[in-house]
Amino acid sequence: MLVLPNGDHPMNSSACCREIVWERAFAEGNGHVFCNLCGGEVHIGDEWEVSHVGAPAALGGVDTGVAHKFCNREHGLAYVIPMVAKAKRMRRKHIGAAGPGFTDTPLPAGRQSNRIKKLNGKVEPRLPRYGKHARAMAALWPHGRPE
């Protein structure tokens, strides 16, 4: 992992950070710089970007390397953006911030509503599970449960 003298990670595209990433890749490649995505050589004058190796920055990745601009953009579109979107969806669902009925315009008498609409069109208040159980037991034993 590359760390700058002030303790920061080179995650922005300033010239200083790009130069440090290039020099590190140049040293690791024994005088050559290779794309960390396609493995091809990156020549001086080629368009290149700082690319995250392993985990993307959106998921906490800090290890960086050199990649062709085209390779980095293709990798981002094909792998990184869908992976980050899925991770965000999974987290939102896990913490209960997303799911059925949590839209800007929920359906009337939908899952998160306090009303329920029956198949015959009648609208009733939605009962919690214990309310449904009590109603079923009352219908099963109208005079109380036999002992």
Domain extents for the chain?
15-95, 106-142
- The confidence score (pLDDT) of residue 16 equals 87
DSSP 117: E
- Mean pLDDT value across residues 8-13: 57
| Token output for 57 | 């920055």
Q: What is the mean pLDDT of residues 15-27?
A: 90
Q: Record the pTM.
A: 0.62
Question: What does the alpha-carbon distance between residue 77 and residue 81 come to, in Å, rounded to a whole number?
Answer: 6
Beta bridge partners of 124: 116
Query: For the residues 97-114, what does the mean pLDDT come to?
Result: 80
Whether the Cβ atoms of residue 85 and residue 32 lie closer than 8 Å to each other: no
- Please tell me the predicted confidence (pLDDT) of residue 6: 56
Q: What is the pLDDT of residue 122?
A: 93
Of residues 43 and 99, which shows the higher confidence score?
Answer: 43
**Residue 33 CA from chain centroid, whole number:** 31
